[in-house]
A and B are shown apart, each in its own frame.
Chain A
Amino acid sequence: ILNVEQSPQSLHVQEGDSTNFTCSFPSSNFYALHWYRWETAKSPEALFVMTLNGDEKKKGRISATLNTKEGYSYLYIKGSQPEDSATYLCASPNSNSGYALNFGKGTSLLVTP
């Protein structure tokens, strides 16, 4: 089982603040790193799938970077809005189980006006 760790566990920011979270994963046997956004009572929604060291991806105000050599990824949100409030999950595929995802416990973000 690949250990995927996320920090912080939770975060509370004011509207307009920029913020970032960390995901760490074993750097050996790396295949890909997934980021999902998960709102309460909804299904996890894919944000990014990153496969190459040095990858940087962007979707609106959200961006992510990947360092496979040291085993970490950062997710950044620029100018947080209340609608960004959600749990952000990162996950890494496990080749021993049909590339099922090993998830971190998530970072719960609350953005208040």
Chain B
Amino acid sequence: NAGVTQTPKFRILKIGQSMTLQCTQDMNHNYMYWYRQDPGMGLKLIYYSVGAGITDKGEVPNGYNVSRSTTEDFPLRLELAAPSQTSVYFCASSYSDLGQPQHFGDGTRLSIL
């Protein structure tokens, strides 16, 4: 059982480049999330989705876009990479049930130089 799979694991981008962080889950979870983790800070929510075709902004959405065309996939797009987007990005998913935990991918470590 793969769970939540993120690719790539590591990436270095130049300022102004674009890229897509991939996230897929095989647990048929409706809810999916993108978080970023910066040193000394807690995980911050970038975007979330409560089902296919539905996405919404989280706490720190600027500079990012998402789509949710299928239940399984929730890619995160950086259009014009900036040094402030250097971070570790985690995708997570869960059932639509408050009693259930979120399942996390292994993260993507992104550096913008």
The answer to the question of B71 belonging to the interface, with a C-beta cut-off of 8 Å to chain A, is no
- Given A89-B42, A98-B31, A104-B42, A34 and B59 touching (CB < 8 A)? no
Segment with Cβ contacts to A, from B11-19, B77-85, B98-106: B98-106
Segment with Cβ contacts to B, from A39-47, A61-69, A78-86: A39-47
Q: Is the CB of B99 within 8 A of A51?
A: yes
Q: Is the CB of A43 within 8 A of B107?
A: yes
Closest CB in chain B relative to A1 CB, distance in Å: 7
The answer to the question of B75 belonging to the interface, with a C-beta cut-off of 8 Å to chain A, is no
Which of A44, A91, A102: most chain B CB closer than 10 A?
A44
Closest CB in chain B relative to A31 CB, distance in Å: 5
Query: Interface code A90-103, partner B: CB below 8 Å = 1, 0 otherwise?
Result: 01011001111111
The answer to the question of A111 belonging to the interface, with a C-beta cut-off of 8 Å to chain B, is no
Q: A51: nearest residue on chain B (CB-CB)? A: B99
Q: Is the CB of A46 within 8 A of B103?
A: yes
Q: Within the complex, which residue of B40, B59, B106 is in contact with A105, where a contact is CB–CB below 8 Å? A: B40
**What is the size, in residues, of chain A's interface with B at 8 Å between Cβ atoms?**
27
Interface size grouping (class) on chain B:
20 to 34
> What separation, in Å, do the CA atoms of A4 and B103 have in the docked complex?
20
Query: Interface code B52-90, partner A: CB below 8 Å = 1, 0 otherwise?
Result: 000010110000000000000000000000000000001
Q: Is the CB of A51 within 8 A of B49?
A: no
Q: Is the CB of A31 within 8 A of B31?
A: no
Residues of B within 8 A of A34 (CB): 101-102
Closest CB in chain B relative to A26 CB, distance in Å: 15
Q: Within the complex, which residue of A4, A42, A100, A105 is in contact with B41, where a contact is CB–CB below 8 Å? A: A105
Residues of A within 8 A of B105 (CB): 43
- Given A98-B48, A106-B42, A93 and B59 touching (CB < 8 A)? no
The answer to the question of A11 belonging to the interface, with a C-beta cut-off of 8 Å to chain B, is no
Q: Is the CB of A100 within 8 A of B106?
A: no
Residues of A within 8 A of B35 (CB): 100, 103
- 6 residue pairs of the A-B complex, CB under 8 angstroms, read A43-B4, A43-B104, A46-B103, A99-B31, A99-B94, A103-B42
